[in-house]
Structure 1
């Protein structure tokens, strides 16, 4: 008599990938999903896990970034959830103000990283929390400076951001308390942003908020509601994903001491290394879309009006696209990953995030003597979509002071 083992369904595999106890390593479940690159869940949502299929949908005009489109909610949305041509208008307004302000920031970022690490030079041996001591304060400081947001307000918008980003996860993974906190956080954010906008209306400054508000450059002033929604996006997305990128990069380096030593000796390795972090352990694991027409893909048809989850982290390890996908290989050729998405919604802050991660990881490799993970795996955040360590404690024998130029 022979027995057969029933294979888990796509819904079961996806549910396992979302479970908190698998947060440290959801990739085995993504790998199983990737064997069927386009498959429906039992609730009608489609999971797309293949690299080529995700890439196609990211660029297909028949796919909407507004995953709530079928609900016909009359709300103003951020450019992340808008389609062309409205997306293009909003993105142009932001780019016109954002890009000039991030040019030439490398030295300033280097100074910020130096200052954050210098706080630990007296500890011999010692420990630091890479998340709380470096990966979080660095992008928060930068986005506050760029937007013109008071740095001392971080406890306010930091608390709001933590509750809002939890709300990005599938609703079935959230508790009633978390859903209630999500609505409270939205109200708090509106109140906070309205105060910021009123302050800047009374006293314009040379910052991104003023640029968007008063239409400096070739653009007209941004509509007041669009301004509030865009400011919320930049304030929260402007730091949350970079925190994960730096933390995930540090974790990868400490798990591969040969690469850590190599980065210390070859600082230029950091450029491909950060790209490999974005592929191997991306800070954004998935993204939502909806279909505006029937779409034939991978031998099946996704019906019009369907919700679609693009599993970016699964596509980044698709063996049809990347050889030996579960190995961390900074020298990987043709590393065109999905870490920043693709198409017209490609991450607007990609250049800044790359720069922050490159400088932070190089400094950690150069300055930490005999670093080691205090806990492996570390504790992770609740978020499944914005996945990264909640804390990343690292021990070291000594933190080398940075030489000062005279």
Structure 2
């Protein structure tokens, strides 16, 4: 195993523990990467001004740089530093924090149609992003289409994507740009208007790019959170009964799952100036693989780190980032996941009839469910 393929391994956590034991910040010559595995190292790297989100020589991935998806990528707040990062975040975050939880719950409930693995796929991937689209004023049919287009766009963010997926991502981006231009021109949605006010000094393209970025973050992070929460229920058959008896335990479960088995296992930082971190000298051009999932299970951060505890005191997690690149949509993602899990638990699905595997990825841990074949009676 290595720190990259660990993200989709059945159980990477003992391996992460071995990396922490070998040193919180070490260099892997095979991968040509620094590996930050301890809570101390992860925090130090994420907060260091010399460690940035994109390499200086490649602000946009070469595979998409010349197309519409690349132009959107280049304007994303989470892929920039300084003012290009702070201004969009300051515009988007207050609006997201003001979203009414009951409105989110109603939108989630309106999108549940089927049971079994097909329904779970909708709950994980289609539902959350279409909820965000609805909050931004899109009608139900357009919201679903926007969710599907977001899935196509997200594919271009992975180095594992092939030419067909990249072409689909560019086409989806063009459609999303058109949808959002029309939605902005309508001027009839309070949330979109509030976010737009924060972009008053920026061009419309930056606003639209970061709205697409909001959808893409919702798509993967929420899909993984819902899926990994379901895996927690599968692994502990007593948990569904606990949640049905006391639905208030859904929130503690979700915040514990995003610590224990997060959908985003790692991220990267790129060194732009000589710096010393925990005694190690890093040079411009160096890359650091930041193991968020490993840091979450560092016993120096969370005692009994490998145990799922609903009532964990002083729970701490890096899953939504930290410092100035902390995700502004954390509360919204948790709200959508909470409403989704609430419905799933109430329906009491036959979890023993599900099979699962992880979607191929170098950094995300997102389970894909399928229905187990039903044995024929003899």
**SS of aligned partner of 1:46:** strand
> What is the TM-score normalised by the length of structure 1?
0.78
Q: Among 281, 301, 321, which residue is 1:321 paired with?
A: 301
CA distance in 1, matches of 2:116, 2:96: 36
Q: Does 1:373 align with 2:352?
A: yes
The structure-2 alpha-carbon separation of the partners of 1:39 and 1:162, relative to structure 1 and needing over 3 Å to count, comes to: farther
| 1:310 maps onto 2:290 in alignment | yes
1:166 shift after superposition: 4.0
Deviates more, 1:144-153 or 1:350-359: 144-153
Q: Which residue of 2 aligns with 1:13?
A: 2
For 1:89, the equivalent position in structure 2 comes to 87
Aligned residues of 2:130 and 2:146 also touching (Cα < 8 A): no
What is residue 224 of structure 2 aligned with on the other side?
244
Matching residue within 144, 148, 153 for 2:133:
144
Aligned length: 360
**1:108-147 deviations in Å (ceiling 9; x for gaps):** 3333444455x45xxxxx7454532423333122111123
Alignment of 1:70-81 (within 5 A): 70-71=57-58, 76-81=74-79
Larger Rg: 1 or 2?
1
Query: How many angstroms does 1:95 deviate by?
Result: 2.5
Distance 1:386 1:164, change over 3 A: farther
Q: Distance in 1 between matches of 2:126 and 2:79?
A: 27
Instruction: Tell me, in whole angstroms, the C-alpha distance in 1 between the residues paired with 2:59 and 2:134.
Output: 36
Task: Report the secondary structure of 1:282's partner residue.
Answer: coil
Question: What are the residue-to-residue correspondences of 1:111-130 with 2, within 5 Å?
Answer: 111-117=106-112, 119=113, 127-129=116-118
Give the deviation of 1:235 after TM superposition: 2.1
Counterpart among 27, 30, 52 of residue 40 in structure 1: 27
1:28 shift after superposition: 3.4
Preserved CA contact (<8 Å) 1:372 1:394:
no
Q: What TM-score comes out, normalization by structure 2 length?
A: 0.83
Distance 1:335 1:130 in 2: 32
Tell me which residue corresponds to 1:389: 367
User: What is the rounded CA distance, in whole Å, between the counterparts of 1:167 and 1:307 in structure 2?
Assistant: 21
Kept after mapping to 1: 8 A contact 2:256/2:308: yes
**Runs of 5+ consecutive residues of structure 1 not aligned to the other structure:** 1-11, 121-125, 396-406
Query: Structure 2 CA distance, aligned partners of 1:163 and 1:41?
Result: 33
Q: Deviations over 1:13-49 (max 9, x none)?
A: 225425x6x3x33333333323232122334322211
- Equivalent residues in 2 for 1:204-243, closer than 5 Å: 204-206=187-189, 208-213=191-196, 215=197, 220=200, 222-243=202-223
Residue in structure 2 matching 1:188, options 162, 171, 174: 171
Alpha carbons 2:254, 2:338 under 8 Å: kept: yes
Distance 1:324 1:72, change over 3 A: closer
Structure 1 residues 197 and 357: alpha-carbon distance in aligned structure 2, compared to 1, 3 A threshold? closer
Q: Which residue among 333, 339, 343 is the counterpart of 1:363?
A: 343
Distance in structure 2 (CA, Å) of the matches to 1:232 and 1:312: 24
Report the CA distance between 1:314 and its aligned residue.
Answer: 1.4
Q: Quick one: distance in 2 between partners of 1:236 and 1:166?
A: 10
Equivalent residue in structure 2 for 1:276, among 248, 251, 256: 256
Residues 98 and 45 (structure 1 numbering): CA distance in 2 closer, same or farther, change over 3 Å?
Answer: same
